[in-house]
Amino acid sequence: MEGMKSFYLETFGCQMNVHDSEKVIGTLMERGYRQVDTADDASLVLYNTCSIRDKAEQKVFNRLQHHKKNNGKQVIGVLGCVAQQEGEKIFDRAPHVSLVVGSASYTKLPELLVQIEQGGRRVTGLSLDTDETFDTPLTRRDNPYRAFLTIIEGCDKNCAYCVVPYTRGPERSRTSQSVLDETKQLAAAGYTEIVLLGQNVNSYLDPSARGWRFAQLLRAVGEVDGIRRVRFTTSHPRDFTKDIIDAIDETPSLCNHVHLPVQSGSTRVLEAMQRQYTRDQYMRRIEWMKNARRKITITTDIIVGFPGESEAEFQDTVSLLDAVEYDGLFSFKYSQRPNTPALALDDHVPEEEKGRRLLQLLEHQRTIMIRNNANYVGETENVHVEHFNSATGQWVGKTTQHKTVNFTHTRGPGAALEGSYLDVLVTRSGVASLVGEAVAVN
């Protein structure tokens, strides 16, 4: 079927999903599929979905609505977390969908597509016990300098609000040798920055005889020739150990930025969330970072309006922002999710109240970031260049601390600075970024 051979893929959700899509794209291209930019031009339309909050899930069903007029010419498929969560129920809600495949089953995609070509109407791949999905040599990475690399899949944490343990299954780690082999291949292919991925990278445990923990893996990846920067996400505070800070201190290629989602500043709420740490235990980890030799930036995720969160408990979260002085914050209104333990809780915070808390939190964080960023003015920062912004006439890149820098350079667009590392003198600062000019190279 010649008509089947073009595909459109839209990705929602976290970096794990973005990376899964890179694997899906490579898998399809190897089978002769061609990627196109608009859904209407494709014979195969795929959505790699996210279910973390209700809004994310609704977005997918809105997209599917758009294909309702489909008169059998297109094959519509749902991949990822909504696929895993809803399974065959998707066919009932969106009857024009013929393919539902969870994230652990992307390797089966080609054979599932063959089933559809042969007349299959409702084809699924929902097994979660596939462990050969960490990597494939077929991966088509979107960025030629910075590569995502999966080290651990799934999650065993069971936070009361979270769907991930149901959509991604139990935790499974990849062998350190396999991680190092892929890192070396990436370095040989010209990548200089590696982002180690997992829902909870800190609980990494090498299944091979080496038995490495996360900090050991981190050091080894950071020592691979040609790798200049290593990032990792996401960290869970409970499993975040001091040896990770030591590794950062002693290995220059490990970026001095840690994303450590706290979710709440109230120990009572943390307990209700089943996060397995108290505010004090979280703060101890923050102290390790503040006492490190290198200056480590810290970012976080926070949920406001978890069931039963009182005004005083919310204020504990506000005060935590001051105690930590975060360099970045992602905050969300609590959203009720299927299958999760928090469904059993009552005492829901009204929607408007959640909105008010979210705004107050963001406003508070704004002042902290303005203050933090002002400290960089006059400093020279090494920047990994990402792209040229023609609207502003500035180049854009990131520091090792994950600060975005917009900077001018005597060379403009077409100068092929993308992927290089440049020293930039910071001349101004804003809420979410720094402004500077490239230091003349001699």
- Give the residues lining the site for ligand SF4 (CB under 6 A): 155, 157-159, 162, 164-165, 199-200, 236
The interface region with ligand SAH, picked from 4-12, 248-256, 277-285, 333-341 by CB under 6 A, is: 333-341
Q: Which does 165 bind (CB under 5 to 8 A by kind): ligand SAH, ligand F3S, ligand SF4, none?
A: ligand SF4
Question: Is the Cβ–Cβ distance between 234 and 263 less than 8 Å?
Answer: no
Question: Is the Cβ–Cβ distance between 165 and 212 less than 8 Å?
Answer: no
The amino acid occupying position 308 is: G
Question: Is the Cβ–Cβ distance between 112 and 125 less than 8 Å?
Answer: yes
Query: In 3-state terms, what secondary structure has residue 9?
Result: strand
Q: Whole-number minimum distance, CB 332 to ligand SAH, in Å?
A: 4
Q: Which is nearer to ligand SAH, 98 or 234 (CB)?
A: 234
Q: Whole-number minimum distance, CB 168 to ligand F3S, in Å?
A: 5
Beta bridge partner(s), residue 422: 383
Q: Whole-number minimum distance, CB 162 to ligand SAH, in Å?
A: 5
Q: Whole-number minimum distance, CB 228 to ligand F3S, in Å?
A: 27
Left if phi > 0, otherwise alpha if psi is -120 to 50, otherwise beta: which for 338? beta
By CB under 6 A, is residue 263 in contact with ligand SAH?
A: yes
The closest alpha carbon to 289, from 330, 255, 329, belongs to 255
Binding mask 303-322 for ligand SAH (x = CB under 6 A): x-------------------
The amino acid occupying position 16 is: M
Q: Following DSSP, what letter does each residue of 270-292 receive, concatenated?
A: HHHTT-S--HHHHHHHHHHHHTS
Sites of contact with ligand F3S (CB under 6 A): 13-14, 16-17, 50-52, 80-81, 163-164, 167-168
Q: Which is nearer to ligand F3S, 150 or 297 (CB)?
A: 150
Q: Whole-number minimum distance, CB 236 to ligand SAH, in Å?
A: 5
Q: Whole-number minimum distance, CB 355 to ligand SAH, in Å?
A: 13
Q: Which does 17 bind (CB under 5 to 8 A by kind): ligand SAH, ligand SF4, ligand F3S, none?
A: ligand F3S
Burial of 110 (0-12, 13-18, 19+ CB in 10 A): middle
Beta bridge partner(s), residue 435: 406, 428
Task: Read off the tokens for 380.
Answer: 């020279």
Work out which of 52, 75, 195, 361 binds ligand SAH, going by CB under 6 A: 52
